[in-house]
Structure 1
Amino acid sequence: MSLLAVSPYRAMSADRGLLLIVALVAMTGIAAVGSAAVSHAGFNGQIASTVAKHLRDIVLGLAMATVAYSVSLDRYQQYSRLMVVLSIIGLILVFVPGIGHEVNGSKRWIKLGLFNFQPSEMVKVVAILYTSDYVVRQQQSLTDTVGGVIRPVVLFAIVAGLVLLEPDLGATIVIFASIMLVLFLGGAQMRTFIMLVVAGLLAVTVLAVGSTYRLERVMSFLNPWDDPFGSDYQLLNSLIAVGRGGLNGVGWSSGYQKLGFLPEAHTDFIFAVWSEELGFVGVTLLIALYAGLIVTIWQRARRAEAAGLLYGALVAYGVAFWFSFQAFVNTAVNLGMLPPKGITLPLISFGGSSLLVTFAALGIVLRVSVETMEREGKL
């Protein structure tokens, strides 16, 4: 199949449902960042600059989605192992002086001129592409042997080791959760699968209590009022913001907690800002939009599966789970249901790397949808 068998414009016309829900969520993100930008840049008059950067990242993301769509699923399968290698190289480069960029003690970024790119974000989609290919190639081994399930997990355990060195436990959890979902849908041997899930939960527990920084986050989660001006400060102010929202909120851009009280208000805690300003009604709308996006992607996956496009179906299932899992973790952290993990809200939070990779994943989902329609004879 040629790279441009169906033009991006024709593809968008063929799947207006996916395009519409993505546009609605992205526009909601622009509104959220436009308000939360006050916390990031308001005190030095750079609010417009922050919003402009977010809009720039969306434009770059749309370009990335177009490129991602233009590659056939066969090519993604063919080069999935190479993408894993490139991801590992990217994760190593963050530690190279002069190339890597450090923020708040974390080495997660590579300098790329206009912006800094976070390779661990790229790993999220690469893990899904590779694991889906592995399931298609090794389906018999996956269902019949222990090694068939363990091999891809061991490979990404090495990748996870590099991500943890940055350190970024949140991204590691998202990556492994997505891998396990794809393996489960691919028919992984159930006993081995359950053992790996239990082992993963134990590993997360050990990592959480084995680090002073992470242990403080866990303790602040258990009792956010114990140290209100120290380790509990971020979570406590998030809870205050959510509580102040009430039914209808205090009004868009009128939130108080973002004014120097709630750290990372435009990224990890943008949900709390949205909750304060638009209340329960606004939160319900946001959740409905996310549900619409995830259900839309899931439907594309089911159609691909019914059409016999197993690789595309697994990729789309993986992307739907990734978005839903990351959104759940982010909102749960903002609501005090989970310890803080530094995970963004897809398509809503400010952050170039997250937006670029998210749009790339959506471009791949559009490719799955179009190739499914081609197989069904509808294009």
Structure 2
Amino acid sequence: MDSGNTAWLVTATALVLFMTPGVAFFYGGLVKAKSVISMMMMSFGALGLVAVLWILYGANMSAVESAWAFAGNPFSDFGLVGIAEDSDALLATAFGATFAIITVALISGAIADRAKFGAWMVFAGIWATLVYFPVAAWVWGGGWIYSLGSSLFPEAGVEVIDYAGGTAVHINAGAAALALSLVLGKRIGFQKGIQKPHNVPLVMLGAAILWFGWFGFNAGAEGTGALGGETTVGLIVLNTLGATAAAIIGWLIIEKVKDGKATSVGAASGAVAGLVAITPACADLAPGWALVLGFVVGIVCALAIELKWKLGYDDSLDVVGIHLVGGIIGTIYLGFFATGTGLFLGGGIEQLVVQVISALAVLVYSFIVAWLLGFAIEKTLGFRVKNEDEIAGVDTVIHGEEGYAIEAR
């Protein structure tokens, strides 16, 4: 790898790593003031734990030699001793670690205000091992999703398109979030308007950091191949900008029509929804179709977050409505509008079929494992805090700290 590509990959790795503190700010601002430390610590806890597991064995599991292998051998190069002298391989491994970290961190928003930190850490480590590491192998590491197009339609020349994580990151995390929200149950007093974000500027800061880091998230991998050469990096960057901007507009229009006001939290949420949807599609849509995707996902996700009130699951910070729904839309949209292979742009039904299969497979697998794991933790260690601790706010009970300690002088 030449010096330019090396410099870009270091930068992209730092950008994606910075996204996890961005999630912490975004989620932290949305909860009540007495839960902000707990909320942010779940992101930082995931950062510490998943990075260690990735280096020890997760990177080994994320690539397979056979398309139908479940995952790679975790002990094939335990602790990455075998590539300790290979700078390029180590750098690529570090970049992959940041994706694993943020995927786990995203789940935590569904269980805000009511989860024990220790139980969350147990869940995070086991879920990463049983779900994220194998799914990364399926999607990007030569696994069955990676090979699905050639397996089902060998003459069609299509493969599953998931450039940066519509399935492996967002559908994966969103399905797990739905499972945990069902296992832990509803917050006390669960009803529409149960609480307002305690710190809206923190929410906006988190969304801005996520958008900033997402250019590394989407454009990072492309730049490592041939930065400045025959790449689609310009398309990826423009689509990451355009789809996100259009999603803000779509979300705000729905808010204005539905509630009479366009809010800053709505703008931040719309931006995240647009980022989620363009993640799998950033390299395979013309810019105009990326704008359409963003606008559509802004509208749909603004409506989807209302489902929890109608269906009765307490997804505290709308991980399901934004990440699961947005990830599904972005992944399946490619079946219709992917350049050259989409159903409406010169292709047949094949691209749509493989996109739907991959999305559903990851959704079902992640949901089942997360539900079983969360249920087992709840029945053994206990996952949910006591009612009185939830009412009082979990920060002092779990961490012995307050987010805003103001002393009279």
TM-score over 0.5 for the pair: no
Please, what TM-score do these two structures have when normalized by structure 1? 0.32
Please, what TM-score do these two structures have when normalized by structure 2? 0.30
